[in-house]
Every structure is written in structure tokens, then in C-alpha cells.
Structure 1
Amino acid sequence: MDPNRDVVVVGGGVAGLSAAVYTARQGLDTLVVDPGGSILRRNARLENFPGFPLGVDARRLLDLLGEQAEAAGADRLDARVTRVSLVDPDGREGGNDGSDDDARFAVATDGDDRIRARHVVAATKNEVGYLEALDGVELVDRGKTYVDADERGRTGVDGLYAAGRLARKPHQAAVCAGHGAEVAVTLLEDADVPFYHDWVAPEGYFTDRDREVPPGCEEIDAAERREREAAALDATRERFAEPHPDPQETHPSLEE
């Protein structure tokens, strides 16, 4: 595994995976670190997520978001982040020979992984212990612990963002997924990554108006559109052909 990354996303729920889709699609080397414990997997049926008029299995939705992040180019690491710290001016914290001189953060996991990153997106619901080494992170106690962030996820530490529930967004999957995407777009803007809109437009949409295709966009012809649509239909039929194979999860206090 490459220990030097543009973006490390801490948490593999809807907010973290949505953020990873956007950063990876724009060419940032993105790693999602998560032990697989998203609270959404306890949901028996997700009835209010846009695009599923009859509802969707929450575990299936998370699986699909994970596939989408990987298809966009993100990597995933099955581990729990234990510490995020700033790299000191000499690059010693969390570093080693050949490490990325532009990295702001050193990320450690319970699997003894040591990762360096320019940006970190924290998307772990209410888990904040791994941020304790960072000066400038303001925590908010509302019965649960949150990270103080502006509406677009920026925290008091340059390059560190909070997404979804950790940023005090409502306990709704669609809201948290949308906020994860917004945080990723904010990160792209702050990092000066060329970006207009994440659009796939029909052939000629821009060029027939004597415009260059903007960064983050592409034009595809009818044959390419049909090919992509056919692949998507095949994948959808396959993913939804059978009920999700994993047993239903419940609250940890109810487990024997």
C-alpha cells in the first residue's frame, strides 16, 4: 500500500464514501480507512434515500457506495484510525525516507499502518479520539461529541475537514451523503484542483458552442452512452437479484 496520499477519508459510511467518490474522480489519490462498522448497517430498511421509491437495503447501499468509490479510483483499508497528527516542519512525525514532503498529516491505524496525507476528511459519526493530537480542533458536546466545522466542513486545522454526523448534520443518510460530497468539493476548491462540475455531457454540449470541455467534465457520444448504460443495467440487475447475504445487525447492547 502506498503510504503517501492526497486524501485520507476516515470512515466508510455514506458521508465518507461520498467524499471519496468526488476526490478520487478528480484525480486525487484517495484512501478510505474504515473497519466496516457504519451505523447504517443496523438499519432494517432505508425508505427515504432519493432514487429508491420502494426503499433500499441499507447494507446494499453502503456496498454500492463502496464499489463506486473504488471505481472512481479510491483505495480502501480495513482498519481503524487511532491517531491523526501534524507532520512537523522536518517531516519526522509519521514519516520515513521517501515520504511526501507536501504531506500535512500523519495517520496511524490499529494495524500499524503509517500514512501521510495532504488532506484528511473525518467522517466517523461521533468518534473523535483519533483527533486529540491535533491543536486547533474544536469539539462540541451535545450529548454526543462533534467537531466544530463551518457549513462546508472546514475545521480549525487547515486541510482537515469534518463530514456528515461528525459535523453535526442531521441523522439522515441522504443529508450526510450530500454533505460528504459538498465537503469533497470544498476540499477540491481549497486545494486549487481544476474543477467545474462533475458532469458527463452528451457529445457537443460544450464543444459545439465553441467552448472547451471544463475540468471535471467530459463529453461522450451516443455509442459510449449506450455502452455505459448497458453496463450499469447489468450491474444493477446483478446487485439486486438476491437479498443481501449478511445477517441483519442491531444495536450492540442487544447482542449477546
Structure 2
Amino acid sequence: MRDVCIVGGGVAGMATAIFTARAGLDTLVIDGGESILARNASLENYPGFPDGIDARRYLQLVREQASTAGATFELGHVTHVEPIDETDLEAGFVVETDGGEPLEARRLVAASWPDSEYIVPLDVGRIQRGSKHLVDVDEAGRTAVDGVYAAGRIAGEPHQAIVAAGHGAKVGLAVIHDADVNFYHDWVAPEDYFTGRDREVPPGCEEIDDDERRRRDERARETILEAFADPLEDEPTMHPSVESD
């Protein structure tokens, strides 16, 4: 029984996973194989990259960050989700994929644009937009079914990576809240920030001394330098409707 199963390995799903895993929830991401962001030739409106970034490189880094946080991954497509007990949604959900054994999770996050067919049995409420079906959610990404959430484009959010990341993080915080995790703020603070004011370090926060800050900064710089050392050979994924030569 996983604490959280996230369907979709794109920006929204990864952002959710980073937050839930860092909060100590056992988080599994079922990845369909390729985010729609991989069609982007150059991601140039994401804060922090003045001259843009290769979208595939960005996806690699986000996935690595979720893995470092403690999330695990399974490659596949979810085909069906149903409650373990129709009378008790707190018992969790059975998640079936197109390969492998069914999985069980206490909470489910749909972040799988544009596919939402697998949650039809849950009757979460869907909204048709053209040929797509969005999932009806509240402002925090909760659906009408307790324990089921939706993040990113499938929840009706705009088609921008920064928006998907922000919404995924917001949904992750909703999942953490609903899971009754002892959590205040995911924040690494300098030494004495809290304790220097005779306060306990809040749950989810961490104080580090200057030596540890420098170690983490060095590790972070090494990771980025290694990631950008060589250009990616992969080309953007073309839209399926475009015929290849």
C-alpha cells in the first residue's frame, strides 16, 4: 500500500512527487514514458534560466530531483482505478496498469494529460473541452472523491510548464495536509533561524550550519555543471499529426 500514487511523469506530477516524498509520504509515480513538454524545442519562459533550457534536459533534472526526494517510478499506462472498498474510500484505491500487478495506494493524483479515462469508474466529475476531458477540481486540486486529486493541464490549468509546476506543488501540499502529516513548511533555514529565537524547528523545516550549507551548494553546483556539460542529442518530439519524412 503506497501513500500516494501519481499518474503522469510530466512537470505537474513531478512537482507533486517532490513535495509528497520530501514530507515522508511513500510516493510512486507511474510514468507513461514521455511528457508533452518533450515536444518543446526550447523552454524559454521558465524563471531561473535567462536564455532558456532544453525542455528534455529540464525534464531529466526534475525527475532526478523527485528521485532524490525519495519518489519511486514505474513505467506504464494506468488503465483502471477503483476503490478497494466502495463504502470506505479511506481504504484506498486499486490501480491497474497495462503491465505488471495491480497496485494499491491511499491517495491518487491524476497528472496524465490528456488521458483521464482510467478514473471514470471513480465518478470524480469530468468536463469535456473539445476532444479532451478535464477533471473537475477545487482550488487545491481535490476532486469530488476523497483521496483523489488532479494536477496540471488535466485539472484545467494553462498549458505552461511553470503553471504546471506550481499547481503540482499546490496539489502536493493538499495531499500532505489531508494525510495528516506533521508538516509546517518545506524550508531549509540557516542555523539559529528558529532556535536562535527559542523556537523549535517546525515540522518539515530544517536548520543547517554554514559548513553544511556550503556542502549542499557545492553538490548542487556539481549536479548542474554535470547536467549541462554536453548538449543533448535528442530532438524534440514532433506532434503525431505531422508526417515524418
Task: Output the TM-score relative to the length of structure 2.
Answer: 0.96
**Which of 104, 108, 125 is the equivalent residue of 1:120?**
108
1:161 aligns with 2:152: no
Q: Deviations over 1:20-65 (max 9, x none)?
A: 0000000000000012221100000001011111101111111111
Q: Which residue of 2 aligns with 1:177?
A: 165
- Give distance in 1, aligned partners of 2:26 and 2:56: 26
1:50 aligns with 2:37: no
What is the SS of the residue equivalent to 2:143? coil
Q: Deviations over 1:167-219 (max 9, x none)?
A: 10001110010000000001111121111111000011000100000000000
**Which of 159, 167, 192 is the equivalent residue of 1:204?**
192
What is the SS of the residue equivalent to 2:121? coil
AA in 1 matched with 2:125 = E
- Give distance in 1, aligned partners of 2:45 and 2:87: 49
Alignment of structure 1 residues 30-45 onto 2, 5 Å: 30-45=27-42
Q: Is the 8 A contact 1:103 1:116 kept in 2?
A: no
**More deviation, 104-113/73-82:** 104-113
- Give distance in 2, aligned partners of 1:151 and 1:255: 39
Offset of residue 113 of structure 1: 2.6
Q: Which residue of 2 aligns with 1:86?
A: 83
Q: Is the 8 A contact 2:81 2:122 kept in 1?
A: yes
- In the alignment, structure 1 segments of 5+ residues that lack a partner are 92-100
* C-alpha RMSD over aligned residues: 1.5
- Give distance in 1, aligned partners of 2:153 and 2:200: 38
Q: Measured at CA, do residues 89 and 129 of structure 1 come closer, stay the same or move farther in structure 2, by a change above 3 Å?
A: closer
Q: Which residue of 1 aligns with 2:127?
A: 140
Offset of residue 162 of structure 1: 0.5
- Give distance in 2, aligned partners of 1:191 and 1:112: 27
Q: Measured at CA, do residues 40 and 139 of structure 1 come closer, stay the same or move farther in structure 2, by a change above 3 Å?
A: same
Q: Measured at CA, do residues 152 and 215 of structure 1 come closer, stay the same or move farther in structure 2, by a change above 3 Å?
A: same
- Give distance in 2, aligned partners of 1:166 and 1:76: 20
Q: Which residue of 2 aligns with 1:192?
A: 180
- Give distance in 2, aligned partners of 1:73 and 1:255: 40
What is the aligned-residue identity percentage?
Answer: 58
**Which of 200, 225, 234 is the equivalent residue of 1:246?**
234
Offset of residue 247 of structure 1: 2.6
What is the SS of the residue equivalent to 1:213? coil
Offset of residue 102 of structure 1: 6.0
Q: Is the 8 A contact 2:90 2:147 kept in 1?
A: no
1:20 aligns with 2:7: no
1:9 aligns with 2:6: yes
- Give distance in 2, aligned partners of 1:247 and 1:146: 29
**Which of 181, 204, 214 is the equivalent residue of 1:226?**
214
What is the SS of the residue equivalent to 1:133? helix
Q: Measured at CA, do residues 187 and 90 of structure 1 come closer, stay the same or move farther in structure 2, by a change above 3 Å?
A: closer
What is the SS of the residue equivalent to 1:219? strand
Q: Which residue of 1 aligns with 2:204?
A: 216
Offset of residue 249 of structure 1: 1.2
- Give distance in 1, aligned partners of 2:214 and 2:189: 13
